[in-house]
Structure formats: C-alpha cells, structure tokens
Amino acid sequence: MVDLAVSRLGQSFANPVLLSSGPAGFGLELAPLFRSKPLGGLTTKTVTPSPRQGNPPPRLVDAPAGALNSIGLANPGLDEFLAQVLPELRELPTVRLISFAASDVQGVEAMAGVLGEAAGVDVLELNLSCPNVEGRPPSWDSASTRELVRAATRATCTPLLAKLSPDVTDVVPVAAAALEEGAAGLTLVNTVRGLRIQRDTGRPTLARMWGGLSGAAILPIALARVFEARRAFPEVPIVGVGGVTDLGSLLEMAMAGADLVGIGLAVMCDPELPWRLCVELKQWLCRRRISRYSQLVGCAHRGGVDVCRTC
Ligand SMILES: Cc1cc2nc3c(=O)[nH]c(=O)nc-3n(C[C@H](O)[C@H](O)[C@H](O)COP(=O)(O)O)c2cc1C
C-alpha cells in the first residue's frame, strides 16, 4: 500500500496534488471531478477587496513550452466571492486554499480578517507576486513582503501561505521575511515576468506589454527556487508550483522539496491531469517499493531516492 496523504498546514491532504491559483478559476467547473476522485486541494483564483475587470485583451499568448498571461487578477471581489462562490466551494471534498491580494497593508489586513473567519476557508494564500497589476510585485523585496505578511497574520490564525515571485536573485531572504512574520508556509512560484513581440508589427503582443510566463518552460526556475527554500528551511511547508505538466515534472518538484505540488497552466489544456497524476504517482511509488510520498519530499537534498528508499 502506498500512502499519498500529506499532513501540513493543519490539514490532511488526501494526496499532494493541488490546483494552483488562477488557471482553473474558482474550480467549480471541475466539481464533478472533485466529487468522483480525491484531489489534495484547490487554490482559488486570487480574490481582491473590490471586483476587477483585469487587463484589456490580448492578455494571453502562447510561448515556447508555455504561455504568457497578463490577466491582471480579474475576479468578482470579496463580497461576491463570500456570497456566491464560497458556499459552493464548501461542498467540495478537498482542502480549500483561498488566494487573496490587496494593494495596501490595510486591505490585506481586512481581507485576511474576513476570509480567516469564513466557514470553508482551510488555508489562506497571500499573493505577493502577481506581475500583471500596477506597481512592483511585493515579493520583489523583503521589506514589502514583511509588511504585508505581518498585516495578514495580525488579522487571522488561519494558516497562511506566502506566494512568492521567482523574479529575484535570491528567494531566501524574502521567504525568511515572510516566515518571520508568521507565514505558515511558502508557495513557490508565481509566473516569471516575460515579453512577446508581434513579428509583423514589431509591437508587444500583450496589451499591457509584460506578462507572466508559465508552463513547462519555467520548470527549472521553479525547481531552483523550491530547492533553495527547502535547503534554507528544512521544516517549512512548501507548495511547489511552476512547469508541472506530467509525472516526471511532479516527481522533480517533490524531490526538490515540495510537500504539495500545484498544477497551473496544464489544467487549461487537460482538466483531468491532476487526478491522473495522483494515479501515476501512486503506481510509480509502488513500483519502487516506496511506501509513503513523504519519503520522496526533498530527497534530492539527501542523496537521492535510492538512499531515501533504504532509510
Ligand atoms: C491564466 C493564469 C491565471 C493565473 N492567475 C493567478 C492568480 O489569480 N493568482 C496567483 O497567485 N497566480 C495565478 N497564476 C499563476 C499560477 O498559479 C502559477 O503560479 C503559475 O502559472 C506557474 O505554474 P504553471 O507553470 O503550472 O502554470 C495564473 C496563471 C495563469 C496561467
């Protein structure tokens, strides 16, 4: 028997696979899949204090081995989320991770307070890393990260993940700032800032010019950030996100140190992928006679999977 369960962030995840924030919206279209087979968790689209239209089109364009988006946090806002979306999410048999963001300290504190009290919110994920809104992503520097995480943890005891940007030279000081201010764990990473240019006009393809790159193209970048964070913080819960599109990339993410693995862009092409990956992961562990998924987590830091199997 193989045990895929993960106990982290005060929750029992049936398996380590999550939907990452955004590509699946609020996940409600996938409700029949959640009801038929277990999935570790569902991270919602980021919710903001007020409704947002997002950026003007075009806001999604393909890229080699991925896509560039500048959606710009389009969402119905906190009130609508609480009234219309959360009641439906509460019915799903999975761990609910609610992603949120606000442009200032007061907004973050207010949202964390309200969401942390709401029934059905299991974990909060503070999005400090969207590259597609006004200003710099807060997690480009430790001071802004510290300030916003402090505001959130002041307002709630619900476990809080800090979602960080990969676009930094060293993610460790930023992660340390979040953890020192009470974040229960880290989500690594958001999209990588990128650009595409229309070859016939010479103009940037996306209306807002810059976008965030996701998909297989960013796997090595995400792996590096997860590995660096795991090495610096051996005990901290880490959700690894970025470029996971198949069993091989999921295994690499776990081996780098991810307790939980988020699937983003790949769900837009293949909505059943996360559920299939759970089956494939179980079979892979079984063939290797590894009894628990947790034995795999971070094994790249311990001499590899064969060492891990015999210990
Ligand atoms: C269309 C789209 C929308 C996204 N929206 C959000 C969002 O609202 N909040 C957030 O934290 N991340 C958002 N992301 C980022 C993903 O959660 C994820 O961090 C990133 O895409 C890397 O993972 P991937 O390579 O598996 O897609 C979005 C990504 C895409 C492609």
The runs of H, that is alpha helices, within 157-299 are 171-180, 219-232, 247-256, 266-269, 273-287
Residues 273, 71: Cα–Cα separation, whole Å: 23
pLDDT reported for residue 152: 98
**Pocket perturbation via mutation, ligand 1, pick of 21, 52, 111 by most ligand atoms within 8 A of CB:** 21
Q: Is the dihedral of CA 250, 255, 256, 259 positive or negative?
A: positive
Residues 46, 55: Cα–Cα separation, whole Å: 15
Task: Look up residue 169 and give its DSSP letter.
Answer: S
The pLDDT of residue 305 is above 90: no
| Gap from CA of 218 to ligand 1 centroid (Å) | 12
DSSP per-residue letters across 144-166:
HHHHHHHHHHHH--S-EEEEE-S
Catalytic sites, residue numbers: 130
| H or E element, residue 253 | helix 247-256
pTM over 0.95: yes
Residue carrying the six token digits 């219309």: 84
| H or E element, residue 261 | strand 260-263
The total of other beta-carbon atoms located within 10 Å of residue 180's CB is 13
Q: What percent of the chain has pLDDT over 90?
A: 95
| Gap from CA of 301 to ligand 1 centroid (Å) | 27
The runs of H, that is alpha helices, within 69-141 are 78-80, 86-89, 105-117
What class has domain 6-53+73-192+214-310? alpha beta
* Model pLDDT for residues 120-152, shown as the tens digit of each residue: 999 999 999 988 888 899 999 999 999 999 999
Query: Does the CB atom of residue 139 touch ligand 1 within 6 A?
Result: no
The runs of H, that is alpha helices, within 181-218 are none
* Model pLDDT for residues 57-115, shown as the tens digit of each residue: 999 999 999 999 999 999 999 999 999 999 999 999 999 999 999 999 999 999 999 99
Phi, psi of 281, rounded to the nearest 5 degrees: -65, -45
- CA angle, 252 as apex, 250 and 254 as ends, to 5°? 70
197 pLDDT tier (thresholds 50, 70, 90)? very high
> Please, what is the angle between helix 247-256 and helix 273-287, to 10°?
70
pLDDT reported for residue 311: 45
Three-state DSSP class for residue 36: helix
Query: Does the CB atom of residue 163 touch ligand 1 within 6 A?
Result: yes
The pLDDT of residue 308 is above 50: yes
pLDDT reported for residue 134: 85
- CA angle, 47 as apex, 92 and 56 as ends, to 5°? 120
Residues 256, 289: Cα–Cα separation, whole Å: 20
The pLDDT of residue 309 is above 70: no
**Pocket perturbation via mutation, ligand 1, pick of 71, 191, 244, 267 by most ligand atoms within 8 A of CB:** 191
186 neighbors 162 (Cβ within 8 angstroms)? yes
Query: Does the CB atom of residue 300 touch ligand 1 within 6 A?
Result: no
Quick check: bond before 189 cis, omega within 30?
yes
Residue spans of the domains in the chain: they are: 6-53+73-192+214-310
Residues 241, 18: Cα–Cα separation, whole Å: 9
Residues 175, 164: Cα–Cα separation, whole Å: 8
| Mean pLDDT over the full length of the chain | 96
Three-state DSSP class for residue 38: coil
Residue nearest to atom 6 of ligand 1 (CA): 22
Q: Is the dihedral of CA 13, 15, 21, 24 positive or negative?
A: negative
